[in-house]
Structure 1
């Protein structure tokens, strides 16, 4: 039997999540397998605008709509490194194909393209990512820390950050106020 892969799924923090870094977090899983998992928190703006980020890396950003867009806190691992989740996938130096038409790129060439007005049609930029060692995420799910649901690209790219958590929760098809933080076995 093949192990379950949660690549291209949302992790939705349970309402009782105690860890302040992940409370009310919506994580998009870019990779999940036998060696662990990695994803991006996609609903927590970092307080840094794209114009500031591009200024820090010495690239001009002339596209007005992008200048004020938020860079997100993607997670506590490598918080000084940029990650670009984008569609279409394109052809960049260092990309992970998440699914058909969607990739995660860490090389500067995608940022250069953005600064030159050749940005991917849809993108989200984070600083840092969330990572789990082999079996760690599965244990956290078993401990009732996360809910999982197949990701919906419109939530990632079309909704404001503050609406993403509840929109992902609604994909589950039940009232989240009915959730219990207790774990048990029948």
Structure 2
């Protein structure tokens, strides 16, 4: 039997199943940034925090008053790993000091993208998270085998064109699934 490459989920959405017990991921939609044999990394994209971009800029540039518009830009909880580190998803185009192209979407992790957004010079659409979700080798595959997640194709309109509370249901709808009709009791008929 020849080795079959596992199907990796880079540039896909993970939809938490209703019975997801881990509070870090219950009712989340996660964008998979990287998925290889050595593990996976993703960003939860539907959990706005109490913070906004103005709060972050006050820490990064205490001598400069953030524009009032920055109070309208939410910061999302991207996951439980490195919650002090920022990640910005935005449509491909401008690149910053640390930008990775992911196929129609880019991930920037340097402060210059935040300053550009604040100054009105950054990407027109963006989603800013603190922290990320990480899986060790084989961990995400095991969770998928346990039906903890559904996967669906990435859709930029869901990420950038909808309010955060609509994203999970919209991603499930791409699969023809209504999450509210699924029971949160696994294995009970």
| TM superposition score normalised by structure 2 | 0.89
Q: CA deviation at 1:133?
A: 1.1
3-state SS of the aligned residue for 1:104?
strand
Report the counterpart of residue 93 of structure 1 in structure 2: 97
Q: Note the 1:33-182 alignment, pairs <5 A.
A: 33-58=36-61, 60-62=65-67, 64=69, 66-99=70-103, 101-176=104-179, 177-178=181-182, 181-182=186-187
Q: Do 2:92 and 2:101's aligned partners in 1 also have CA atoms closer than 8 Å? A: no
Q: Do 1:144 and 1:181's aligned partners in 2 also have CA atoms closer than 8 Å? A: no
Gaps of 5+ in 1: none
Q: Do 1:60 and 1:115's aligned partners in 2 also have CA atoms closer than 8 Å? A: no
Q: How many pairs are equivalent?
A: 181
The separation in 2 between residues aligned to 1:161 and 1:175, in whole angstroms, is: 17
Q: Do 2:169 and 2:178's aligned partners in 1 also have CA atoms closer than 8 Å? A: no
| TM superposition score normalised by structure 1 | 0.90
The separation in 1 between residues aligned to 2:58 and 2:41, in whole angstroms, is: 28
1:25 and 2:28 aligned: yes
Gaps of 5+ in 2: none
3-state SS of the aligned residue for 2:55?
helix
3-state SS of the aligned residue for 1:39?
strand
3-state SS of the aligned residue for 1:122?
coil
